Amino acid sequence: MHQKNIASTYLNPIMMKTEILILLILIGLSSCNPQPVTFDPMPVVPSKAQYRYQQMEMVGFIHFTVNTFTDREWGFGDEDPDVFNPSSLDAEQWVLTAKEGGLKELILTAKHHDGFCLWPSEYTEHSVKNSPFRGGKGDLVREFTDACHKHGIKVGLYLSPWDRNHAAYGTDEYITYYRNQLTELLTNYGDINEIWFDGANGGTGYYGGANEERQVDRETYYHWDSTFALVKKLQPDCQIFSDAGPDIHWIGNEHGFAGEMFWSTIDADRLVIGASDPAYLNRGDREGKDWIVGQCDVSIRPGWFYHASQDEQVKSPGELLEIYYKSVGRNAVLLLNLPPDQRGLIPETDAMNLAALRKELDRIFETSLAGEAEASVPADFTFRKKFATGNLRDGDMETFWSSPKDGPVNITLDFGQALQFDHVVLQEPVQYGQRISKFSMKAVDEEGVEVILAQGTTIGYKRILQVDPVTSRQLILEIEESLAPPALAEIAVYYSR
C-alpha cells in the first residue's frame, strides 16, 4: 500500500503535464484552421410547399367555358347555359397533352367572370347542370380532377372573384355565395394543389338582369384574409395565387416574362389584389419581408379562350422556348394556357407545339458538360466538406457549395479539355433563401484570354444564360455581391447546336 501511494505521487504530475501539452496542441491546430460549424439560412425562405411548387417549373392553364362557344374573352353574364355543349370533350386528352409537354400541374377555370360554373353547384342554376353537356348530368370539374389524379398531374382551380351573372355581386351576400362555392371545390374533388384568384373586380354585367355597372373596393370587399384562411383550413397544402400571394404572385404581365432582375422576396404590405404595381411584381424586392413565388402566365394563343380566327397564331416551339428562358430561366414558374376548342379538345397544333418545346428542352439540357469538371475556389473560401465545391456539379439541389464569409469570390470550372458551349445554368439552394445579387461569367479562350460571357444580378432557383458559342477549357463565375455568404447548388454547361 505504501509503495503504491509513492508511485501515484510521482506519476500524477507527469500525466498532468502530458494532458496539458495535448490540449495546447489541439487549441493551436484549431486556431490555425477555424471552421464555421453552421450554415445559416436567410431571414426569409420559402415554405416547403412553395419550394416544391417552384421545382415544377412549368404548369398549365385550361380556359374553357361559355366563352368558347360565344367567341368572347370575357362573358357578360347573360349567356344561356344551352350554348355550353362540347361535342367530344375529353379531359384526359388535356392532361396527357400537358404531361407530354412537361407540365406538372393544370389549372381549370371552374368559374370565369361570366359566372357560369363547370360543376353542378348547389348555390346557382347558372352551371353545367342546366346545359346539354352530359344530358345535364355532367360535372366537368370532376372529369378534370379525376383525369389529373389518374395521370399524376397536380390540380389547380380558378374561381373568379368577379361574377357578372350573380344578382348579389357587390353585397355581403355574394361573399357568402363565393365562399360556399370555394368550399364545394376544396372539399369534393380531392387534393387541390393551387387555387387561383385574379384581380378582375367590378364593372358592367348582367347581375341577374340589372344590366348595370357595379364597382367594389378591391382592398376591402372580398375580405381576402378570411378567404385565404378558409382555403388553408380546407386544404392546408394548397398554394394560393393572386397579385398579393400569399404563396404565388402574378409577374405583372401576360407575356410570360419575369424581370432580368427577379427576387422571390417581396413586401406583401405593398401588394393589393387587382391594384399592385406591375413593375414591382416583375422584379420582386431584395429587401422584401415575404417569400412569394413568381408565376409568369401566358397563353399559347393571342387569347385566353379558343377562337377559330387565331388558329394560325399559335406560338411556335421557338417562341415558347424564348418564353421558357424568360420565366423559368429567370427564377419564376411558367404558367402556359392551352384553351380547348368547341369539341372540348386541345387543338392539334397547340398540342404539337407544346410537345416540340419539351423535346427541344430535353435535347438542349440532356447532359451537362460540367459533370466531370473540377470546381475550385480560393482557399479562404472553402467550407466544411459538407459544402464542398464538388456539390456544384452533382445534379442535386439538396447539396451545395457555400462560402464561410462574405466578399467577392471566383468559382472556376476546369473541364480538363477545351469544350464548346452556349448555355450555362446556375441554381442557388433557395430552400435557404436567395442571396446572390450581382455576378459575371467569363471563359478562357484558346489563347488564354478571359472573355466576358454574361453579367447579371439575381440567380435564385434557376438562371439560364444563353451565351455566344465559345470554346474554352475553363469557365469562371465571379460572385460580385451577395446579401450573405454566397451559396450555389449547381453550375451546369450545355451546347445546343
The whole-angstrom separation of Cα 428 and Cα 235 is: 29
Beta strands (DSSP E) in 96-162 are 105-111, 154-159
* Residue range(s) occupied by CATH 3.20.20.80 in the chain: 48-364
How do the residues of the chain divide into helix, strand and coil, expressed in percent and rounded to 5? 30, 25, 45
- H/E stretch holding 451 reads strand 450-456
For the domain covering 48-364, report its CATH number: 3.20.20.80
320-352 residue pLDDT tens: 999 999 999 999 999 999 999 999 999 999 999
For the domain covering 374-494, report its CATH number: 2.60.120.260
The whole-angstrom separation of Cα 305 and Cα 313 is: 13
Picking from 155, 150, 151, 182, the residue whose alpha carbon sits closest to that of residue 59 is: 155
Residue appearing with cell numbers 454547361? 493
Evaluate if residue 24 carries a pLDDT over 50.
no
pLDDT band at 406 (very low <50, low <70, confident <90, very high): confident
Q: Are strands 401-402 and 194-196 parallel, antiparallel or unpaired?
A: unpaired
Residue appearing with cell numbers 418564353? 323
Name the H helices within 190-306.
224-234, 278-283
Burial 323-343, CB ≥16 within 10 A → b, else e:
bbebbbbbbbbbbbbbbbbbe
pLDDT at 404: 85
CA count, 13 A, side-chain hemisphere, 92: 3
Evaluate if residue 181 carries a pLDDT over 60.
yes
The whole-angstrom separation of Cα 15 and Cα 401 is: 43
Give me the amino acid identity at 137: K
Residue appearing with cell numbers 370565369? 112
Give me the amino acid identity at 357: L
Answer whether 453's CB lies under 8 Å from 424's CB. yes
DSSP class of residue 53?
H
C-alpha cell at 495: 451546347
C-alpha cell at 72: 368572347
The 3-state DSSP class for residue 297 equals: strand
Residue appearing with cell numbers 480560393? 378
Give me the amino acid identity at 136: G
pLDDT at 16: 44
Evaluate if residue 40 carries a pLDDT over 80.
yes
Chain-wide mean pLDDT for the chain?
92
Picking from 137, 275, 129, 121, the residue whose alpha carbon sits closest to that of residue 187 is: 121
Q: Is the torsion defined by CA of 56, 400, 432, 475 positive or negative?
A: negative
The 3-state DSSP class for residue 129 equals: helix
pLDDT at 29: 41
pLDDT at 25: 41
208-259 residue pLDDT tens: 999 999 999 999 999 999 999 999 999 999 999 999 999 999 999 999 999 9
pLDDT at 23: 41
Residue appearing with cell numbers 355543349? 85
Between 413 and 4, the higher pLDDT residue:
413
pLDDT at 262: 98
pTM, entire model: 0.91
Tell me how long the chain is: 497
Contacts of 468 (CB under 8 A, 6+ apart): 422, 453
Residue appearing with cell numbers 398579393? 244
Contacts of 179 (CB under 8 A, 6+ apart): 227, 230
* Residue range(s) occupied by CATH 2.60.120.260 in the chain: 374-494
pLDDT band at 273 (very low <50, low <70, confident <90, very high): very high
Give me the amino acid identity at 351: A
Output the DSSP codes for 385-440. Answer: GGG-GGGGGSS-TT--EE-SS-S-EEEEEEEEEEEEEEEEEEE--GGG---EEEEE
